[in-house]
């Protein structure tokens, strides 16, 4: 186990047993998460839905911390989808307020740990008070390189593809004969972010819900029945153990890098 994990994992704990099964030379570079089940978590406890979102911010902190300790380079979190505007006004307002409070509270932690904040989605349409906070923390952390936290805000995968097409069409210098997958990727919101290797979804739904449609072409998918507010480091370790058991063939008959 790498030294920086030793203080983070309790000796003799379930987490320690899981971490010992990990091959640290084969961790994913990029983990993406669909944080689902906050509402059901709250309902089960006879609490308002927003209590589930508030509890979900604790899991956000935990998954960020755990990725950083493992040395994972990119973590993308689906925090607000284009479809989420359909929810009751009060719930939508609370989600943006929680985001603002989270960034206000955690900005020093992000700076101290050399985390970088990046945002994907139609950010111009989010409430100004949340946008200002996001822009402030993005600017504050823009030169950091340890862990990039990509927040998907007002994000839709189909929108992202349509926006990329619009940008290509509006780029007068673009020679359409040179268009290929790699070039197209540069026009997506995720330009400069490698594709996710592992996609995690909580609360048992078997859907991708318009999340990173282009980028998850070859991602391994891991689903837990547990709700997002119950997500802890052990879940991430379990996902990584499963990920390492899969053979990533990318359409080939051999796993990547193996020709025997
Ligand atoms: C899905 O649960 C979760 C969301 C729509 C939002 C996720 C937001 C947070 C965890 C809090 C704020 C985020 C950050 C980054 C600080 P759901 O409401 O769809 O649950 P349900 O399917 O049980 O109704």
> 4 C-alpha vs ligand 1 centroid, how far in Å?
30
Are the CB atoms for 224 and 52 separated by under 8 Å?
no
Phi (first) and psi of residue 29, to 5 degrees: -80, -35
| Residues 6 or more apart in contact with residue 76 via CB below 8 angstroms | 30, 31, 32, 33, 120, 149, 150, 151, 152, 193, 196, 212
- Report yes or no: 118 and 194 within 8 Å, Cβ to Cβ: no
Q: Which residue has the tokens 């540069």?
A: 186
The pTM (predicted TM-score) of the whole model is 0.95
What is the three-class DSSP state of 162? helix
- The preferred substitution site among 36, 44, 117 for testing ligand 1, maximizing ligand atoms within 8 Å of CB, is 36
Considering only CA atoms, which of 175, 172, 237 is closest in space to residue 14? 237
Number of the ligand 1 atom closest to the C-alpha atom of 43 = 23
Question: From the alpha carbon of 40, which atom of ligand 1 is closest?
Answer: 23
- What is the secondary structure of 82-115 as a DSSP string? GGGGGS-HHHHHHHHHHHHHHHHHHHHHHHHTTE
Query: How far is it, in rounded angstroms, from Cα 89 to Cα 92?
Result: 5
| Residue 205 Cα: closest atom of ligand 1 | 22
Question: Counting atoms of ligand 1 from 1, which one is nearest the CA of 102?
Answer: 16
Distance 49 CA to ligand 1 centre (A): 9
Overall CATH class of domain 26-241:
alpha beta
Instruction: Walk along the chain (260 residues) and give the pLDDT tens digit of each residue.
Output: 888 888 899 999 999 999 999 999 999 999 999 999 999 999 999 999 999 999 999 999 999 999 999 999 999 999 999 999 999 999 999 999 999 999 999 999 999 999 999 999 999 999 999 999 999 999 999 999 999 999 999 999 999 999 999 999 999 999 999 999 999 999 999 999 999 999 999 999 999 999 999 999 999 999 999 999 999 999 999 999 999 999 777 788 888 766 65
Helix (H, G, I), strand (E, B) or coil at 78: strand
Nearest CA to 193 among 38, 6, 16, 32? Answer: 32
For residue 27, report the distance from its CA to the centre of ligand 1, in Å. Answer: 26
The answer to whether 126 touches 100, Cβ cutoff 8 Å, is no
DSSP letter at 153 equals E
Mutate to test the pocket of ligand 1, among 34, 50, 53, 226 (most ligand atoms within 8 A of CB): 53
**Burial state string for 191-210 with b = 16 or more CB within 10 A and e = fewer than 16:** eebebbbbbbbbbeeeebeb
Pocket of ligand 1 (CB under 6 A): 35-40, 53, 56-57, 60, 77, 79, 84, 95, 98-99, 102, 151, 228
Residues catalogued as catalytic: 36, 84
pLDDT of 236? 98
Going 23 to 240 to 74 to 196, the CA torsion angle's sign is positive
């Amino acid at each position: 186990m790498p030294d920086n994990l030793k203080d983070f994992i309790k000796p003799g704990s379930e987490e320690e047993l899981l971490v010992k099964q990990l091959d640290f030379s084969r961790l994913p570079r990029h983990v993406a998460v669909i944080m689902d089940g906050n509402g059901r978590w709250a309902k089960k406890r006879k609490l308002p839905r927003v209590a589930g979102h508030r509890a979900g911010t604790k899991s956000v902190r935990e998954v960020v911390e755990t990725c950083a300790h493992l040395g994972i380079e990119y973590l993308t979190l689906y925090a607000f989808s284009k479809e989420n505007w359909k929810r009751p006004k009060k719930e939508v307002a609370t989600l943006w307020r929680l985001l603002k409070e989270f960034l206000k509270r955690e900005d020093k932690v992000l700076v101290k740990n050399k985390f970088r904040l990046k945002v994907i989605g139609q950010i111009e349409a989010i409430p100004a008070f949340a946008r200002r906070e996001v822009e402030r923390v993005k600017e504050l952390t823009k030169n950091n390189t340890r862990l990039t936290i990509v927040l998907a805000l007002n994000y839709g995968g189909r929108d992202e593809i349509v926006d990329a097409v619009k940008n290509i069409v509006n780029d007068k210098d673009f020679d359409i004969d040179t268009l290929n997958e790699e070039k197209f990727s540069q026009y997506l919101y995720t330009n400069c972010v490698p594709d996710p290797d592992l996609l995690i979804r909580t609360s048992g739904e078997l859907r991708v819900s318009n999340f990173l449609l282009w980028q998850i072409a070859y991602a391994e998918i891991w689903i837990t029945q547990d709700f997002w507010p119950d997500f802890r480091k052990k879940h991430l370790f379990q996902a990584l153990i499963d990920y390492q058991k899969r053979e990533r063939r990318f359409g080939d008959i051999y796993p990547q890098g193996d020709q025997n």
